[in-house]
Structures are given as C-alpha cells and as structure tokens.
Amino acid sequence: MKLNSLTLKATIDKLKAKEISHADLYKDVHDAIAEKNGLLNIYLSLDPTAVTKAEALLDTPLAGAPIAVKDNFLTVGLETTASANVLKGFKPPAESHVTTKLKAAGGVIVGKTNMDAWAHGSSTETSDFGPTKNPRNPEYLPGGSSGGSAAAIAADLAVGALGTETAGSIRQPASWCGVVGLKPTYGRVSRSGVIAMASSTDSPGPIGKTVEDCAILLTHIAGKDPYDATTLPKPVPDYTAHMRDGVKGMRIGICYMDHPQLKGTDVDRAVTKAGKVFEALGATVEVVPLSKTLEKGKILTPDYAIGVYTVVQRSEVSSNLARFDGIRYGNDRSFFAHEALNRIMLGTFTLSKGYADKYYVRAQQVRTLYRQNFAELFGTYDILLASPSPGYALAAGASSGDPLFGELQDMLVEPSSLVGNTGISVPCFTDPKTNLPLGLNIMGDQWQEEKILKAAYAFEQATDWNPWAK
C-alpha cells in the first residue's frame, strides 16, 4: 500500500508508532505528484524541503503530516499567487494565521494548490495557470474555487488540505471530487493572511479524506486571532471529542429537494436516501418545504440568494482587489484576467453613486431575511440536509462564457454562507457510469461545528460511499 493513500489520522498514528517513516511517506507523496500532477494540474508550487521539516515534527499533534494548501494563503518561502498573473512571483513577507497555526501543530505544507484565480469561480478553470482536472474522471471539472485542494485529496497527493469558502468553494469541489470538506462558521477561523475575496463571508476550512481528518485539522486551525477582528474569542474544542456520539434524537430537516431544478434528480434521490439513513440511526427527519417568501417552518428559496450573493460578493471583490496596483508587489492592474475584471467592474458599478442603495443595500436587506429564516429553522432543527451542488461535476469547459456559472452552481449553499453558518460535505453517492460522486451538505447553525461533525461521522460510518472511512 502506498503511504500517500493513508488518511491524516492513520498517517499521524503510524508515524507516532514508528510503523512508517517520514522519508517513505514523503517519497510516496512526491512520486504520486510526479506521476499525476502533469495531467491533473493540482500543485502550482512545491516545497522541496518538506520532508526535512516533517522529520523534526514527530512529537507534534500532526506529526509532520503532508498538507496541501490553497494558493490564497500567504506562505513565507513559497510563492503565493491566488492563481492570478497579477501576483505571479509574489513572495509573502508574512505568513497567514492559519498556516502559522497549522505549522505550529506539526503540519507540513507540501505545496500550494491551484484554484479559480482570486477564488472567483466554482470550476478551477479560471486559474491563470491552467485548469485542474477531476481525479475521479479527468474529463470533468473538480469544482472550485478550492478545486486544487479537493483534487489533491482525491488523488492522494497529500493526506490533508486547506481551502477557503465564500459560498461553496470548499463544499462543492469536495462534493465533485468525492472527499470531505468543512466550511466553518464565519469568524471561527481567521482570515488574516488569506487573500480576501468577499470579506464578510470568507471562511478558511479543511478538506480531508474523512470526517475525522477534517475534525482534526479544524481543531488546529480554528480560534481567535488578534489580527482578525471578526474572529470570535470562543474556546476551540477538540472537534473529534464528540464526533462519535451518534445522531439518536437529533432533529433533521431536508431542504431544497422540492426546488424545480432538483426534484427527481440523482441529487434529490441521494439526499432523500441520506435522510432515511439518519432515520435508521435514530434521528427525526422531515422535509422543510420551500417558500417564495419568509414563512415560519419553511425554507426561503435560494433563488434570491443568487442576486444577494452576486451583489455582495462583486462589491466586496471590487474593493478587496483595489490594492493590487503593482506598486508594492505584483503586476499592475492590466494583468487581471477576464473573470476578475468582470467581477471588479460589476462590483464597482453596484457600489457606485446612485446604485448602491438600489443594489448593495437591498441585497444586504434580503440577507437579513435569510438570517431570520435560518435562525427560526435552527430553533426547530439541529441540522439541515441539502446538496452542495445542483448536480454532478460538469464536463471540462462548462464554465466558460457564463458570467453567473459559479452562482448557479453554488445556489444551494449561498443562503447559509451569506448568514455565516457552518456546513460539511460528505460523499453520498457515486454514479457507476462516470465514477463521479455526489456530496451531502450537512448544515448547522453558527458555531455548531460539533453537531454537523457528529452527523457527518455517523453518516460516513453507516454508508459505503467513502472508501477511506473503512
């Protein structure tokens, strides 16, 4: 068995028990990279000294395990570009808070992974450095924007990974690549040193082979950061501690499957079937009906979230990318590629005089309706089930030419992302014809990571969809 196919948990255990060596582990990881990276285009840069760093870390919690990190985390000594030509060659003089914590816990960055440039997208096709392919079927997209990190896990090119999500960017690629991705509550994991996309929704989080791997990584990256005023000073639990507690008595609602776009699809069938699995495990499961207006006991249609998200995200993007003027670092503004241009300019428009009230303020008001809706629903339900994506991975090339491609793909996670809730995607089906998986999106209220991990772990253990979990 190749050591790169181990889970993070098994890697740590075996390293600590001296059953395997860092040298063998990193050799297998690098061999796999050498074999597959040419085709899949997952890593943008690699740290050749990773194994040396790892060897000194045996006594740390992560024991020097190889971790893939999305290229929007600032890393000292490793070029950081957010897959954008504007930042080609940028060597950060400061490290992101999350990778600082990861390293302190004994994680070693193998390399930086490809993404949609600036995290603008849901395909990893908009990278200025070429698209990433889906390891489950290279004819298809890996999803995005954390497509490189999800693909690195799916292809066993690392044992754990970090991504970021604004609306779907962790869960959708995890779903399309058949791995586990957790989007933490906004404010649970620091954004400092992460190249900002949409400041009011960006959430760094783990992508792993199993629910347990994600719980381990989250435990080590979460927490208050004095350099991010939006992080909560709440103590960070050991997220693996209650993971095995089971779902008996849990109140679960199923959402969005009655949406016209989903009704009767494989996604509908897989999510509904997942509901049955939870029922069998002792949870109470019921369907939460879709509603066009804010109504008690119903879930507000995700249709409006596209508009809200488009306005909020474009506006914040136009602001966050204003600093890239080529004076202090990087190339000048003429280097922005089409998708970034598109978003910067639309956001410039939605914030401009005479339009800000009509678009930006209104979008933030509709955002309040989603908050009220989720607050009410989470009074009734512990968790909500849905899908991170309306369907399977799409074929390579599908994203081009559609200015709203990402928004339509991420429609089902946009409402909960806009209100800052947490969610995790776990494999819940595989199409035998294409080998393409589907994910189950388990959503929880703000700060309820322990609840969604409990449900995700129970589901993973009760089903056969995740081969690493066996």
Partner 1 sequence: MKGIAFSSSDVQKIAKLANIPVTDTLADDLAAGFTKTMAVVDELTKVNVEGVEATNQVTGLENVLREDEIDTQRIFTQEQALANAKRTHNGYFVVDQILED
Partner 2 sequence: MNTYEPVIGLEIHVELKTKSGMFCGCPADHFAKKPNTGTCPVCLGLPGALPVPNKKAVEWTIMLGLALGGTIAEVSKFDRKHYFYPDLPKGYQISQYDQPLCRGGKVSTSFGDVRIHRVHLEEDTGKLQHATVAGKKVTLVDFNRSGVPLVEIVTEADIHSSEQAKEFLKKLHQIVRYLGISDADMEKGSMRLEPNISIRKVGETGLPNYKVEVKNINSFRFAAAAIDYEVKRHTVILESGKVPAQETRGWDEAKNATVSQRSKEEAADYRYFPEPDIPPLRFTKEYIDTIKANMPQLPDAYKKEIKEKHGLNDNQAKVLSEDFGKMKLFKDTVSLPSVSQANISGATVANWIINKVPDTSGVTPTYLADQIIKSKQVTQVDDSVLVSAIDQVIAENPKAVADFKAGKEQSKMFLYGNVLKRLAGKGDKQKVMELLVGKL
Binding string, 74-113, against partner 2, x = CB under 8 A?
x-----x-x----x--x-xxx-x-----------------
> Among the residues of 41-164, which ranges form H helices?
50-55, 97-104, 147-154
Q: Does the protein bind partner 2 through residue 230 (CB under 8 A)?
A: yes
Q: Does the protein bind partner 2 through residue 196 (CB under 8 A)?
A: yes
Residue 2 binds what, of partner 2, partner 1, none (CB under 5 to 8 Å, by partner type)? none
- Indicate the residue type of 389: S
Q: Does the protein bind partner 1 through residue 329 (CB under 8 A)?
A: yes
Q: Does the protein bind partner 2 through residue 329 (CB under 8 A)?
A: yes
Q: Does the protein bind partner 1 through residue 328 (CB under 8 A)?
A: yes
* Helix or strand holding residue 318 (H, E): helix 303-320
- Indicate the residue type of 306: I
Q: Which two tokens stand for residue 59?
A: 């006594």
Distance CA 230, CA 188 (A): 9
What φ, ψ does residue 442 adopt, rounded to 5°? -100, 115
User: What DSSP assignment string belongs to 217-257?
Assistant: HHHHH-S-BTTBTTS--PPPP-TTTTTTS--TT-EEEE-ST
Place of tokens 């991420």: 410
The verdict on whether 273 is a catalytic residue reads: no
Distance CA 250, CA 455 (A): 9
Give the residue with the Cβ less far from partner 1, 308 or 426.
Answer: 308
The verdict on whether 169 is a catalytic residue reads: yes
Q: Does the protein bind partner 2 through residue 192 (CB under 8 A)?
A: yes
Angle at 168 between CA 161 and CA 82, to 5 degrees: 55
Q: Does the protein bind partner 2 through residue 353 (CB under 8 A)?
A: yes
Dihedral (Cα; 68, 73, 77, 79), 10-degree rounding: 90
The verdict on whether 146 is a catalytic residue reads: no
Distance CA 449, CA 451 (A): 5
Give the residue with the Cβ less far from partner 1, 17 or 327.
Answer: 327
As a 3-state breakdown, the chain gives helix, strand, coil percent values, each rounded to 5, of 40, 15, 45
Q: How far is the CB of 214 from partner 1 (least distance, A)?
A: 22
Residue 342 binds what, of partner 2, partner 1, none (CB under 5 to 8 Å, by partner type)? partner 1
Q: Could you say which of 10, 50, 218, 366 contacts partner 1 (CB under 8 A)?
A: 366
Q: Does the protein bind partner 2 through residue 360 (CB under 8 A)?
A: yes
E strands in 399-449: 422-431, 436-444
Q: Does the protein bind partner 2 through residue 194 (CB under 8 A)?
A: yes
Residue 425, preceding peptide bond in cis (omega within 30° of 0): no
- Indicate the residue type of 167: A
Residue 82 binds what, of partner 1, partner 2, none (CB under 5 to 8 Å, by partner type)? partner 2
How many residues of this chain interact with partner 1, rule: CB under 8 A? 59
Q: Could you say which of 23, 39, 56, 94 contacts partner 1 (CB under 8 A)?
A: 94
Q: How far is the CB of 352 from partner 2 (least distance, A)?
A: 5
Give the residue with the Cβ less far from partner 1, 89 or 282.
Answer: 89
Residue 191 binds what, of partner 1, partner 2, none (CB under 5 to 8 Å, by partner type)? partner 2
SS3 310: helix
Strands 383-386 and 436-444: antiparallel
Q: Could you say which of 345, 356, 376, 398 contacts partner 1 (CB under 8 A)?
A: 345
User: Which listed residue (83, 127, 149, 169) is catalytic?
Assistant: 169
Q: Which two tokens stand for residue 116?
A: 């949609």
Q: Are 133 and 151 in contact (CB under 8 A)?
A: yes
Q: Are 22 and 64 in contact (CB under 8 A)?
A: yes
Q: How far is the CB of 258 from partner 1 (least distance, A)?
A: 19
Note the residues at the interface with partner 2 (CB under 8 A): 72, 74, 80, 82, 87, 90, 92-94, 96, 191-196, 199-200, 226-230, 315-316, 318-319, 321-325, 327-329, 348, 351-353, 356, 360
Contact residues toward partner 1 (CB under 8 A) are 89-91, 93-94, 186-187, 200, 226, 229-230, 232, 293, 303-304, 306-308, 310-311, 318, 322, 325-330, 333-334, 336, 338, 341-342, 344-346, 348-350, 352, 359, 361-369, 371, 403-404, 407, 418-420, 446
